[in-house]
Amino acid sequence: MSLRRDIYQALEDIVGPEYALVDEPFLDSYAFQWGTELFRPNGNKFMPRPEAVLLPGSAGEVQAIARVCNKHKIKYKAFSTGWSVYAAPYTEGQILLDMRRLDRILDIDEKNMFAVIEPNVIGATLQAEAMKVGLNTHIIGSGCVSSPLAAATSFLGHGPDSLFMGQAAENLLAAEWVLPTGDIVRTGSLGAGIGWFCGDGPGPSVRAIIRGGSGARGALGVFTKCAVKLYPWPGPAQLPVEGTIPAYHSPLPPQIKAYTIAFPDWGAYADAHYKIYDAEIGYILHRQYNKLGEDLGPAFFMMYIDPTKTIDDLEEMLERPEIKKLTEEMRVSTQIVLCGMTQGDIAWQERALGEILAETGGWKVAAMSDPMMEKFTLLYLIRLGFKGLNMVFSGGYRGSFSQKGTPDFAVGYRAQAASVLAKHQKTGLIVEAGGDSMMGPGGGMGGGGHIGFEQFCFYDPSDLASINAALDYFEDAAREAKRLGLTSGYEARIFEARLTEQEKRTAFLSAPQPALYRYQRQIKDIFDPNDLGDDQYAVMPKDRKGA
């Protein structure tokens, strides 16, 4: 334990000895994270070991911890469910706050359609409870094991249902925020003492400070409670699940339908998205199955829904004529769930989708409308409990070319992104899944309007050669994205983490939006004057403040 004994004692006194961890095996389990091998040298699976891990049981305890940390100038950061390198400390000498003890759904306001939650509530539990009263919650792209509070307050937050339910940032209502200094701010209507229903007043309206597009990733204080919007759910009070592990599927009433829709070309794909937005149809719109690659995705999922098969059957599946045909049919495709609030509504949505397909030359992929496959798609996209399949091939994946924009913008850079990946797949050191491994929501915000794409690259995190090959690809992808004038995506985060202060300065000044980093610097100076937040919050280095 390198933390000074008196400091440790002060922290332990706050949370109690059972929730103050300093022994090496505990600390290393918290440094162990997904994706670390890309961020750390030589395939290292561990981020910097925290000095201590604390599990606070209330906002008051978080506040007390923050005050001790400020007094002794110790960096600290919190995480909710803690998936990915972003949840771990970026630098040595930090204290990590695991918010696991705060895991309650404090309220579901059925009439006003919102829920008040703590950090360790996950999408699946919130959805299960919301459905009991005819409501549903937005589940972010990383799946239902993730924290809706973390997504809403501190990180990214679009997903398959964003078309209907918006992205997490849009769903944030009032919040309880422990500032880096330890002061507590109650945002929006909560700050005015009139409840949780609004994030932007009356009371402090700080949405743009606490988060922009991708949030401060735990580096700007701690959110201990927040309210999130809920949305109508016309299905049963409990999601019905049938089938044999892992091929679970959900038989839902006829007003809830799932289709894979395919198109003759990318222009038609984009046009269909505009028309879907204009028609205001759809509950979920997501290019999901292509995440495993245009060459492998159809075969994999046909294999997966047969519980007698395993990954060892994939090669044989790929050789089947009907799978080869399906693979060709699905190259330009996406998944859509229609959810009628009434029988008339679903009839209207079905008709509208039919007309959109007719106008764009698109079609419903018959094999994916097989009842079993449809029920699987419904469960997959509504609960989003199969997101771990992102890593099913080799154990490691990371996104690249992760962009959001109009459908025309997204399909416009898709081909170039695919060709960069295809080039690297030829090495055999990353998975040869087909150049286009683009996944993403067909509506990155409520009501649609833009597509989000993410190009998957799969590698083996137990094989250094594969890790290095993936890094080569991501470096190439970052270079190509910059050449195309795209904003930096997931791939760029890897290399940002390796920058020296001098390199960071140069990089931020030459970024497409340099003012962003100056603005964030100013926020940090005001809210975190002792600079105790983690380095993941991208700010202009201090001596160039306002430059």
Partner 1 sequence: MSLEQYSADMKRCIRCSYCKWVILSQIKSWRFARGCPSEAFTKIHTYSASGKMGVSLALLEGRFNYSSEGLLDIAYKCQLCGSCDVACKVCRYFMEPLEMMRELRARLVEEGQLVPEHMFTIDGLRAEDNMMSKTKGERGNWIQGCDVKSLAGEKGPVLFHAGCRLSFDEELSPTARKALEILKKAGVEVGVMGKDETCCGGRAYDLGYRGEFTKYAEHNTEAWRSAGVKTVVTCCSDCYYAFKVLYAKYGLRKNVEVLHVTEFLERLVAEGKIKFARKLPMKVTYHDPCHLGRLAEDYAPWNGKEKKIKGQIVTWEPKRPIRRGANGIYETPRSLLRSIPGIELVEMERTREYAWCCGAAGGAKEAYPDFALWTAKERIEEAQSTGADALVTACPWCERNFLDAVPSSGSNTAIYDIVDLVGQAM
Nearest residue (CB) to partner 1, 49 versus 257: 49
Q: Is the dihedral of CA 65, 66, 72, 73 positive or negative?
A: positive
Nearest residue (CB) to partner 1, 144 versus 198: 144
Please give the C-alpha separations between residue 417 and each of 165, 266, 341, 483, in angstroms, as whole numbers. Answer: 28, 14, 38, 12
For residues 309, 313, 316, 321, the Cα torsion angle rounded to the nearest 10 degrees is 40
Radius of gyration of the chain, Cα coordinates, nearest whole angstrom? 23
18: buried, middle or exposed (CB in 10 Å: 19+, 13-18, 0-12)?
exposed
Q: How far is the CB of 409 from partner 1 (least distance, A)?
A: 30
Token pair of 246 as six digits: 């892992």
First and final C-alpha spacing in the chain: 40
Helix then strand then coil, in percent of the chain rounded to 5, is: 45, 15, 40
Nearest residue (CB) to partner 1, 126 versus 486: 126
DSSP per-residue letters across 213-231: SS--TT-S-EEEEEEEE-E
Q: How far is the CB of 125 from partner 1 (least distance, A)?
A: 4
Q: How far is the CB of 426 from partner 1 (least distance, A)?
A: 9
Q: How far is the CB of 221 from partner 1 (least distance, A)?
A: 22
Nearest residue (CB) to partner 1, 488 versus 536: 536
Nearest residue (CB) to partner 1, 208 versus 241: 241
Using an 8 Å Cβ cutoff, are 443 and 277 in contact?
A: yes
Q: How far is the CB of 492 from partner 1 (least distance, A)?
A: 21
Q: How far is the CB of 429 from partner 1 (least distance, A)?
A: 7
Q: What are phi and psi of 488, to 5 degrees?
A: -70, 140
At residue 355, what is the residue type? E
Q: How far is the CB of 117 from partner 1 (least distance, A)?
A: 10
Pairing verdict, β 363-364 and 438-441: unpaired
- Rounded Cα gap, residues 261 and 349, in angstroms: 14
Token pair of 44 as six digits: 């290292």
Nearest residue (CB) to partner 1, 248 versus 259: 248
Q: How far is the CB of 295 from partner 1 (least distance, A)?
A: 8
Q: How far is the CB of 432 from partner 1 (least distance, A)?
A: 5
CA atoms within 13 A on the CB side of 524: 25
Q: How far is the CB of 55 from partner 1 (least distance, A)?
A: 6
Nearest residue (CB) to partner 1, 241 versus 347: 241
Using an 8 Å Cβ cutoff, are 442 and 334 in contact?
A: yes
DSSP per-residue letters across 138-160: ---TT-TTS-HHHHHHHS----T
Q: How far is the CB of 503 from partner 1 (least distance, A)?
A: 29
Residue 308 CA to its chain's centroid (Å): 31
Using an 8 Å Cβ cutoff, are 224 and 119 in contact?
A: yes
DSSP H helices in 361-512: 371-383, 407-425, 464-483, 490-496, 501-509
Q: How far is the CB of 444 from partner 1 (least distance, A)?
A: 23
Return the biggest CA–CA distance within the chain.
72
- Rounded Cα gap, residues 286 and 498, in angstroms: 33
Nearest residue (CB) to partner 1, 466 versus 520: 466
Nearest residue (CB) to partner 1, 144 versus 210: 144
At residue 33, what is the residue type? Q
Nearest residue (CB) to partner 1, 179 versus 392: 392
Nearest residue (CB) to partner 1, 245 versus 515: 245
Q: Is the dihedral of CA 40, 44, 47, 50 positive or negative?
A: negative
Nearest residue (CB) to partner 1, 8 versus 386: 386
Q: What are phi and psi of 166, to 5 degrees?
A: 75, 180
